[in-house]
Amino acid sequence: MKISMAALLLGCLLTATLAQVSSPQNQDVAVVVNPKNPVSNLSGSELRRIFAGEKRIWAGGVSIKIITRAPGSYEHVVLLRLLRMNEKEYKQYWIAQVFHGEAQAGPITLFSNGMQKEAIMVFPGAIALVDLIDVKPGMKVLKVDGHSPGEPGYPAALNGNSH
């Protein structure tokens, strides 16, 4: 009996540890750009306007390149929350943006944060949302409204579980 209880206890302990280590679903999402980009802070509304394709050029003249994760990912959920759209509205929004001539194509949609990192490195004006736990060297994390991800005051819209 004692043995079985000890084994059970051990199993629970390890399961909890593994869950804590591997679950990305409780993290803030970081706003990342190319390391060469001197921007270090964006306001919440600037961030929304960037991902809505309304603000398309960094003030220095470099075109903004929006990188997004594919539907179903944690980052995509956060993106929709930021834009206050559902998936259908998001797709129709970009159809309209392209047709208006406001964008040549929709955002580049990638299937992993590793691919996002590659894209961030390739495009000087790139910006992406990346789960904080997946932030890698080669990504520059921006503050939003003066707060870094994980800090109190970081916008709730950038945490998919906050609502």
81 binds another protein (CB under 8 A): no
C-alpha to C-alpha distance for 129 and 116, rounded to whole angstroms? 9
User: What character string, x for contact with another protein (CB under 8 A) and - otherwise, covers 4-43?
Assistant: x-xx--xx-xxx-xx--xx-----------xxxxxxxxxx
Least distance in Å: CB of 29 to another protein? 14
Residue 27 CB contacts under 8 Å (≥ 6 apart), including other chains: 131, 132, 133, 149, 150, 159
Pair 133, 32: CB distance under 8 Å: no
Pair 127, 50: CB distance under 8 Å: yes
Task: For tokens 């050029």, name the residue.
Answer: 57
Q: Which stretch binds another protein (CB under 8 A): 72-80, 143-151, 154-162?
A: 143-151
Residues in contact with another protein by the rule CB under 8 A: 2-4, 6-7, 10-11, 13-15, 17-18, 21-22, 34-43, 45-46, 48, 55-63, 84, 87-89, 91-92, 95-96, 98-101, 104-105, 108, 118-119, 121-122, 124-125, 133, 135-141, 143, 146, 148
